[in-house]
Amino acid sequence: MKKERRRFSKEEYLARQLKVRQSMNASNVDALIIYDPANMFWLTGYDGWSFYVHQCVVISTNGDLFWYGRGIDAKGAELTTDLKLKNILSYPDDYVMTPEKHPMEHLAGILKEKGFSNKRIGLEKDNYYFSARAAESLYSSLPDATFSDHTGLINWQRAVKSETEITYMKRAGKVIEGVYERVMQVAEPGMRKNDLVAEIYHAGVKGHQGHYGDYASFVPLIGAGEEAAACHMTWNDEPLKNNEGMFLELGAAYARYHCPCSRTLFLGTPPQQYLDIEKVINECIENAIGMFKPGNTCAQISDNFTATLKKYGYEKNNRCGYPIGCSYPPDWGERTMSLRGNDQTVLEENMTFHFMPAIWFDDWGFEMTESIRVGSNGGECLSAVPRKLLVK
């Protein structure tokens, strides 16, 4: 069988599975039902745009590991994982999007057959994909099982990246460099925002320097003029204006691994307020890069950032970064640590973060961010997009 879709060696997957089982044992969990597609991908390699229906990977401490999903997606599991066919299980299509029955009822029957009807089962309850009805179906179908919430159990195992994962993220970094090169080639007053985003998508998928672009877990976020004060705006068909600034929060992906990178673009002559905040944010980033080393905490990086802002008369009351890696829509974060003052998580080498010292005012905003690997002597940026206010 073709192996092109296998992103990692079988040995790396086995090492990941061992880590998860060790964490499960420490958490008194016999089996874990994994709904997060990024966790499914990280643990087994399964990759497909099938997360709009119910699917999961089930791993147990006694050696069981199987993929479970819609019947027509079973071939995708065969192509993207090293699982044996007996461990690729599916439910009939009449379970898809019907009020009469639920795929978790069918899974419950499988779990009973495997001897888990009265075991301790972990769930990813606080997850984009796991629904209240899915939980209720499991509870009612397995009344003798003990369920508990272990939403972040696998996410935390993903925090320290392997060398192959770092390579993939650096390749995504090359792709985002190509995206910004294209932005600077084509952006001009009068260009419709949707046309600019079309160029961003094209460059992001076409790739750069021999590395293809996977689909990113976020759509391009852009905000021009007053809309730059709202951090999660998307595009419309309005034309770009001369003498107006806009933020671009973009990210590229390679083999599901991400490298986000935000910049601010000004068409025309930027006013002093843009030049002032550019200098401050640049200092924040330079300070932070040196702090991304083992032994420092998330809180220390955040505190340094807020202190630098305060020195220049600015303030920001939300987190300034989060861990990144492999992901699926609607988010490219890993949903574990946060770079904020109350997070005492200690950094380890090869953790990866999106450091985001963006700042938004009442009627404008400025974004300049970096994806950074924690290194033994300080951080390493995963892309080389020019770190400055982009002016054209």
Please name each of the domains of the chain with its CATH number.
10-157 (3.40.350.10), 163-391 (3.90.230.10)
Tokens of 344: 């005492």
Pairwise CA distance, residues 156 & 158, whole Å: 5
pLDDT tens, residue by residue, 234-249: 999 999 999 999 999 9
* Interatomic CA distance for residues 252 and 179, integer angstroms: 8
pLDDT at residue 4 is higher than 90: no
Q: pLDDT category, 180, cuts 50, 70, 90? A: very high
pLDDT at position 94 is 96
Query: CB of 217 within 8 A of CB of 265?
Result: no
Residue 2 has pLDDT above 90, yes or no: no
pLDDT at 3 (0 to 100): 58
Residues 6+ apart with CB under 8 A from 257: 165, 168, 169, 171, 172, 325, 326
pLDDT, tens digit, for every residue of 276-330? 999 999 999 999 999 999 999 999 999 999 999 999 999 988 899 999 999 999 9
How far from the centroid of its chain's Cα atoms is residue 143's Cα?
A: 35
Helices 272-291 and 298-311: crossing angle in degrees, nearest 10, is 150
H helix and E strand count, the chain? 10, 16
Closest CA to 23 of 64, 59, 49, 67: 59
SS3 318: coil
Mean pLDDT of 213-232: 96
